[in-house]
Amino acid sequence: MEKLIITAAICGAEVLKEHNPAVPYTVEECVREALTAYQAGASMIHLHVRYDDGTPTQDKERFRVVMEAIAKACPGVIIQPSTGGAVGMTNDERLQATELNPEMATLDCGTLNFGGDEIFQNTENTIKYFGQRMIERGIKPELEVFDKSMIEMALRLHKKGYILSPMHFDFVMGVNGGIGGSLRDFLFLRGSIPSDATYTVAGLGRFEMPLAAAAIIDGGHVRVGFEDNVFLSKGVLAKSNGELVAKVVRMAVELGREIATPSEARQILGLPKRK
């Protein structure tokens, strides 16, 4: 069985310090949280960026500063910027981080009702545009799927040449408007991807650790972090992203999975080797 790639989603675009005081906004705070996760065993940092007041942004220069600072503090770590952006942003606004030529970036594969009047819009043409941009720049997409229909979209656009093989999926589960976070739901998504594809599971809230365990057993990979969940256990706030990563590491050790280093993660995902 492949070694386990652990991704730390250190801040997201929605979670606030009101939810957990350790949620990072500033460059220094993002470095601190990335470092706790890296030292605990994460080989990848899934990155949103904020201004110092917590306002989410897709500004290229903000991404550049944060990414360079994390890379300096965490040698070799894979930094995966989000192209999700915020409701109402244009495609080009959302794609700014790809201008920095990261190894990976997210590619959302469908539209979702986030709640109330908020619609996270990803039309077929948007997905094609993002996919083509990533091919042109040699960026491997992490295909964010929130339900089964988004897997079907990814597979269809793969056949049309907008997404290359081998594909890497991220099952984002338990989000309002998307698929649930049960074992049944996980198995449904898991059984719907190609045999040569890899996948990561990101369970929100109370689904985070049970789905992590399922992925560890199945041979998949795991994402944890404040973007998805701010609690270490019921009613107990995590003190850092590193605490959440460390919990996954303990589970993996008990279940017989070794943890991938950044270089091993690159090999598993088919990324270029880096010093």
Say whether pLDDT at 273 is over 60: no
Instruction: Report the residue count for the chain.
Output: 275
Q: How far is CA 255 from CA 42, 68, 132, 228, 252, in A?
A: 17, 35, 39, 23, 5
Rg (alpha carbons) of the chain, rounded to whole number: 17
> pLDDT at position 85, please?
86
- What is the residue type of 47? L
HSE of 248, CA atoms in CB hemisphere, 13 A: 36
Residue from 4, 38, 24, 10 nearest 228 by CA: 10
Residue from 66, 112, 25, 80 nearest 221 by CA: 80
Q: How far is CA 171 from CA 56, 101, 217, 247, in A?
A: 23, 24, 16, 20
Calculate the average pLDDT of the chain: 96
Task: Please report where in the chains the tokens 């970036």 appear, as a residue.
Answer: 105
86 vs 141 pLDDT, higher one: 141
If you write DSSP's letter for every residue of 66-82 in order, what string do you get?
A: HHHHHHHHSTT-EEEE-
> pLDDT at position 57, please?
96
Q: Average pLDDT for residues 181-193, to the nearest whole number?
A: 98
- What is the residue type of 202? A
Domains of the chain plus CATH, in order, are 6-269 (3.20.20.70)
User: Has this prediction a pTM greater than 0.85?
Assistant: yes
pLDDT in tens, 41-85: 999 999 999 999 999 999 999 999 999 999 999 999 999 999 998
Q: What is the β-pairing status of strands 104-108 and 78-81?
A: unpaired
Per DSSP, what are the bridge partners of residue 18? none
Q: What is the β-pairing status of strands 78-81 and 6-9?
A: unpaired
CB 82 within 8 A of CB 225: no
Say whether pLDDT at 100 is over 90: yes
CB 111 within 8 A of CB 120: yes
Least confident of 112-126, 171-185, 258-272: 112-126
Say whether pLDDT at 274 is over 70: no
What is d(CA 53, CA 239) in angstroms, rounded to the nearest whole number? 20
